[in-house]
Amino acid sequence: MRGRGRDVPGLVKQARDGDPRAVARLISLVEEGYTDVAAALVGHPGSAHVIGLTGSPGVGKSTVTNELIRAFRTAGRRVGVLAVDPSSPFTGGAILGDRVRMQDHATDAGVYIRSMSSRGHLGGLAAATPQAVRVLEGAGCDVVLVETVGVGQAEVEVASLADTTIVLLAPGMGDAIQAVKAGILEIADVFVVNKADRDGADATYRDIQGMLNLAPPASSRKTPDVPEWRPQVVRAVANRGEGIDKLVAAVEKHRAWLIGTGELARRREARAAAEIEAIALGRLRDRLGSVRDGTALPKLAARVAAGELDAFNAANDLLGGLRT
């Protein structure tokens, strides 16, 4: 889909000049499925550090994000934030309206904050979010924070999008071992034990350290001949601003490791490959849905549900009707 009648290259130029409205407009176009924004950004790749931030609802993601924005701004860096977390104050969290601290930064020209809705998009967040990251990079952000939620798939998606992935835990939200069992160990570059003033925080900290001692971390990312990254574990009480300096230091250390080892380029290429594949598969999915004017799949599904046909032969039949 092309942004017809819209001067996309002009918007890109304005965004690069620091116009927040142009940035907002470009991200909206990306969300609406316009693909020519990506093309217009070619040649302006930017060099932002893309930081993913994830954790279960209630661990304090919004507060930590807010404090990270403050820290990076104090260091003079331009910050973009994409909140793809349905529990974020910018999206579903508006239900309560009790966590609008990030709005503190709304009037700071060095901060772009943007919620990404997880519903109703062509191609969904998986397609729109990397493009939105590129818009923010193209607009000169030095840091792009991508905040999301969840145990499992959502975290894996953050990890595939980010250079550095921060996983937040809090005591009493399910202990560290549960987190490890849910697969978090393998995607985190930095752990934050937030609400570290609460009972159980020391146990959570020790459990994570113990698990890191036991399990080979980030095995899925290991590249031969690259010195291994041991995930850092940081204690924080984000609502008092405590521990944020250590978190920033851990994140910077990870970035230095990424650059020093060449891992940054490898991750970005892997990310681009996943993105290209997802777009291609999305297009193939659309074509599958339109096989025989869209009647093929429902008819096959009815036969599979009735036990008259198996799903694999049904898939073969569907693919047989596909033109690419």
- The answer to whether 209 and 191 are in contact (CB under 8 A) is no
Residue 306 binds to a copy of itself (criterion: CB under 8 A) = yes
Q: Report the residue number, 224 or 307, with the smaller CB distance to a copy of itself.
A: 307
CA distances from 45 to 83, 155, 199, 217 (A): 21, 25, 45, 30
Closest contact distance (angstroms) between CB of 175 and a copy of itself is: 7
Residue 41 binds to a copy of itself (criterion: CB under 8 A) = yes
Side chain identity, residue 320 = G
Residue for token digits 């260091």? 75
Closest CA to 248 of 39, 65, 85, 60: 65
How many other CB atoms are found less than 10 A from the CB of residue 252? 13
Closest contact distance (angstroms) between CB of 99 and a copy of itself is: 11
Half-sphere exposure for 139 (CA within 13 Å, toward CB): 33
Closest contact distance (angstroms) between CB of 246 and a copy of itself is: 25
Residue 227 binds to a copy of itself (criterion: CB under 8 A) = no
Residue 310 binds to a copy of itself (criterion: CB under 8 A) = yes
Residue 276 binds to a copy of itself (criterion: CB under 8 A) = yes
Residue 272 binds to a copy of itself (criterion: CB under 8 A) = yes
Q: Report the residue number, 165 or 250, with the smaller CB distance to a copy of itself.
A: 165
Identify the sign of the CA torsion 25, 31, 35, 38.
positive
For residue 195, what is the DSSP state? S
Residue 298 binds to a copy of itself (criterion: CB under 8 A) = yes
Question: How far apart are alpha carbons 164 and 191 in whole angstroms?
Answer: 11
Site for a copy of itself in 131-170 (CB under 8 A): 131, 149-154
Closest contact distance (angstroms) between CB of 177 and a copy of itself is: 7
Side chain identity, residue 58 = G
Residue for token digits 């849905």? 289
Give the count of residues interacting with a copy of itself (CB under 8 A): 78
Q: Report the residue number, 109 or 306, with the smaller CB distance to a copy of itself.
A: 306
Q: Report the residue number, 1 or 106, with the smaller CB distance to a copy of itself.
A: 1
Contacts of 150 (CB under 8 A, 6+ apart): 54, 56
Question: How far apart are alpha carbons 79 and 105 in whole angstroms?
Answer: 10
Residue 253 binds to a copy of itself (criterion: CB under 8 A) = no
Residue 75 binds to a copy of itself (criterion: CB under 8 A) = no
Closest CA to 223 of 167, 180, 262, 183: 262
Residue 50 binds to a copy of itself (criterion: CB under 8 A) = no
Binding mask 170-209 for a copy of itself (x = CB under 8 A): --xxxx-xxxxxxx--------------------------
Residue 27 binds to a copy of itself (criterion: CB under 8 A) = no
- Quote the Cα angle for 241-129-228, to 5°: 65
Closest contact distance (angstroms) between CB of 322 and a copy of itself is: 5
Q: Report the residue number, 166 or 291, with the smaller CB distance to a copy of itself.
A: 291
- The answer to whether 160 and 129 are in contact (CB under 8 A) is no
Closest contact distance (angstroms) between CB of 75 and a copy of itself is: 25
The stretch near a copy of itself (CB under 8 A) out of 12-20, 38-46, 201-209, 231-239 is 38-46
Half-sphere exposure for 306 (CA within 13 Å, toward CB): 8
Q: Which residue from 42, 249, 256, 259 is in contact with a copy of itself, where contact means CB under 8 A?
A: 42
Site for a copy of itself in 81-100 (CB under 8 A): 86-87, 92-93, 95-96
